[in-house]
Amino acid sequence: MKLFPVLVMLTACAARPQDLSGKMFTFPLESNRAHVRLNASRLDFSSLTLCHRSFTDLKRDHVLFSLATPVHSNNFLIFWDGTNKEIEPHIKDRKAEFGGRDYKPNMWHSICTMWDSESGLVQIWFNGLPSIRKFVNTGTNIIGPVIIILGQEQDSHGGGFDIKQSFVGMMSDVHLWDHILSSCEIQNYVDELNFTPGNVLNWSALEFEIIDRVLIENKLMTCH
């Protein structure tokens, strides 16, 4: 009798904050299940700065970061629109569109997104270059409970995943701050110099849960 290996999908948790310096999450296949849930204790945000690095060969739409609350599934969503070739931050279900970015496949990109509730302005920094500021939403904070997910786009609080919006590739150096970073701080992040890590999400002390097929590997680097 010929035996076949059985693949068992497990859920992996970081019981305490884990230092992922020099590591990356690898999302190796298109899925409507595989994701990483990031734990954050904060429930109220008047401003946010998110920075991350990603590497993919996807040409279709895909999610880069998803923060949802029971009221707004796209409370703070970073999305690549493959049809219009735009990075689209969504704030409380309203989006801004940033085209003209050289989002090449098969290379690392550093993307930082900033939003402030008082002004209602959102801005991205793509590989160290700033965009203009655009108005999306003003007057109210992002109020939890929040669910933060890498790898899937939430159409409901913690679920509603669409396989054709899933992320396939590698992601690393995810930091989230509850304030607006200065241009110098963003440049230090992009250049991988010393910077103050995120006080909401800190890649060097990250609490997370892996669901389904996501791997932790040494970060893929290019040698010159």
Residue 58 has pLDDT above 70, yes or no: yes
| pLDDT at res. 3 | 35
State the number of CA atoms in the 13 A half-sphere of 19 facing the CB: 2
Q: How confident is the model at residue 7 (pLDDT cuts 50, 70, 90)?
A: very low
| pLDDT at res. 13 | 62
Q: Which residue has the higher pLDDT, 7 or 50?
A: 50
Residue 8 has pLDDT above 50, yes or no: no
| pLDDT at res. 134 | 97
Residue 211 has pLDDT above 60, yes or no: yes
| pLDDT at res. 224 | 52
**Which tens digits make up the pLDDT trace of 148-179?**
999 999 999 999 999 999 999 999 999 999 99
**Average pLDDT along the chain:** 92
- Residue 193: alpha-carbon gap to chain centroid: 20
Closest by CA to 10, choosing from 168, 203, 209, 169, is 209
- Per residue, the 3-state secondary structure of the chain, as one string, reads CCCCCCCCCCEEECCCCECCCCEEEEECCCCCCCEEEECCCCCEECEEEEEEEEECCCCCCEEEEEEECCCCCCCEEEEEECCCCEEEEEECCEECCEECCCCCCCCCEEEEEEEECCCCEEEEEECCEECCCEECCCCCCEECCCEEEECCCCCECCECCCHHHCCCEEEEEEEEECCCCCHHHHHHHHCCCCCCCCCCECCCCECEEEECCCEEEECCCCCC
| pLDDT at res. 14 | 56
**Which tens digits make up the pLDDT trace of 96-133?**
999 999 999 999 999 999 999 999 999 999 999 999 99
Residue 98 φ/ψ, nearest 5 degrees: -125, 105
This prediction has a pTM of 0.92
Work out the number of other CB atoms within 10 angstroms of the CB of residue 70: 14
Q: Of 6-15, 40-49, 56-65, 187-196, give the lowest mean pLDDT range.
A: 6-15
Q: What's the angle, vertex CA 96, arms to CA 81 and CA 36, rounded to 5?
A: 60
- For each of the domains in the chain, give its residue range(s) and CATH number, in order of start: 40-218 (2.60.120.200)
**Which tens digits make up the pLDDT trace of 17-29?**
999 999 999 999 9
Alpha-carbon distance 100 to 90, whole Å?
Answer: 18
| pLDDT at res. 84 | 96
Mean pLDDT of 54-63: 98
| pLDDT at res. 10 | 46
